[in-house]
């Protein structure tokens, strides 16, 4: 039976034949050192923490996370077998181990324990997917995160100035307007809250030649699984 799921994602650079050029394109166009370092500093990996990278692509962020903390446990999730082949080569060359899962970001609970993951992060992936998928990916991350666990996102966020909006048109032309325009209008923090996350913050904004990249953080509330003392009266309200 043909694998129709293969048609359900946008590859790293919009077209499959461009995937081998992805790392070079990101390096040349996005000031990647600035936003990647800031994202990994925010993730602040600790020994033995289980950290999941959604839409890991060529695993640049996983390698950086493991270079910062070699004892962290990294899992990279991506539906594209071609990009995961590049990721496997790069991690082997870097001498680090990442567990790769070939699947979509909204299927985390079929591979990972519920309430079992310490941190989730994602870089430049959410502008590739429709709004309903952005939300289901956030819900999927919420399900696998431990109470108190954090999510960190680096992606094209709200394009606040006319210049940022104009520059972002290059990405929109490459990756499609349907999935990128909601990002440009600032949907990501709203969807994080819709998925149940608290403490949603836009931590930093990076101006790049192709629009602004925002860094967001949010938390699954530490008391999420605590039983309410008012449950006996028929409410789940958590004071
Ligand atoms: C622009 S690349 C970003 C790669 C990497 N995170 C980075 O920082 O360079 C976007 C990646 O998201 C993946 N992707 C697309 N749709 C996805 C989905 N629904 N779930 C998870 N990953 C997805 C693509 O295959 C691609 O590898």
Residue 94 domain-assigned (yes or no)? yes
Q: How far is the CA of 47 from the centre of ligand 1 (A)?
A: 26
In a domain, 201, yes or no: yes
Q: Is the pLDDT of residue 125 over 90?
A: yes
Nearest CA to ligand 1 atom 12: 55
Say how many C-beta atoms besides its own lie within 10 A of residue 102's C-beta.
14
Average pLDDT of the residues in 123-135: 96
Residue 234's pLDDT band, with cuts at 50, 70 and 90, is: low
Residue 5 has pLDDT above 80, yes or no: no
Instruction: Give the integer Cα–Cα distance in Å for 90 and 63.
Output: 8
Containing structural domain, residue 140: 4-233
239 falls within a domain: no
Across the chain, mean pLDDT equals 92
Q: What percent of the chain has pLDDT over 90?
A: 80
Which pLDDT does position 186 carry in this prediction? 97
More confident call, 2 vs 9: 9
pTM of the model: 0.92
At which residue do the structure tokens 């077209």 appear? 15
* Ligand 1, atom 26, residue with closest C-alpha: 12
Q: Is residue 180 part of a domain?
A: yes
Indicate whether 138 belongs to any domain. Answer: yes
pLDDT tens-place string over residues 39-66 = 999 999 999 999 999 999 999 999 999 9
Tally the domains of the chain: 1
Residue 83 lies in a domain: yes
Q: What is the DSSP string of 206-227?
A: EEEBTEEEEEEEEE--TTTTSP
Ligand 1 centroid to residue 165 C-alpha, Å: 22
Q: Is residue 238 part of a domain?
A: no
- Mean pLDDT of all residues in 74-79: 98
pLDDT above 70 as % of the chain: 91
**54 CA to middle of ligand 1, Å?**
7
- pLDDT, residue 236, reads 54
Pull the structure tokens for residue 154.
């680096």
Reply yes or no on whether the pLDDT at 3 is more than 50.
Answer: no
Nearest atom in ligand 1 to 56's CA: 6
Does residue 90 register a pLDDT over 50?
yes
Mean pLDDT in residue range 206-211? 96
CATH number at residue 125: 3.40.50.150
Question: Hunting for tokens 């299927």 — which residue is that?
Answer: 107
């Amino acid at each position: 039976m043909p694998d129709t799921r293969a048609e359900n994602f946008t590859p790293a650079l919009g077209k499959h034949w461009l995937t081998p050029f992805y790392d070079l394109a990101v390096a040349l166009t996005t000031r990647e050192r600035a936003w990647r370092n800031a994202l990994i500093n925010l993730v602040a990996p600790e020994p033995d923490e289980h950290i999941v990278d959604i839409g890991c692509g060529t695993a640049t962020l996983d390698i950086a996370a493991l270079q910062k903390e070699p004892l962290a446990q990294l899992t990279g999730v991506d539906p594209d077998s071609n990009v995961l082949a590049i990721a496997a080569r790069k991690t082997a060359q870097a001498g680090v181990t990442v567990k790769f899962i070939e699947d979509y970001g909204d299927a985390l609970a079929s591979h990972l324990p519920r309430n079992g993951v310490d941190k989730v992060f994602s870089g430049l992936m959410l502008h590739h997917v429709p709004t309903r998928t952005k939300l289901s990916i956030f819900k999927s991350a919420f399900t696998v995160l431990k109470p108190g666990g954090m999510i960190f996102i680096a992606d094209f966020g709200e394009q606040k100035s006319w210049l940022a909006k104009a520059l972002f048109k290059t990405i929109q032309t490459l990756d499609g307007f349907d999935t990128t325009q909601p990002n440009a209008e600032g949907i990501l923090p709203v969807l994080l809250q819709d998925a149940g996350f608290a403490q949603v913050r836009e931590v930093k904004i990076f101006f790049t030649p192709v629009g602004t990249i925002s860094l967001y953080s949010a938390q699954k509330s530490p008391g999420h699984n605590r039983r309410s003392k008012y449950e006996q009266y028929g409410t789940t309200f958590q004071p």
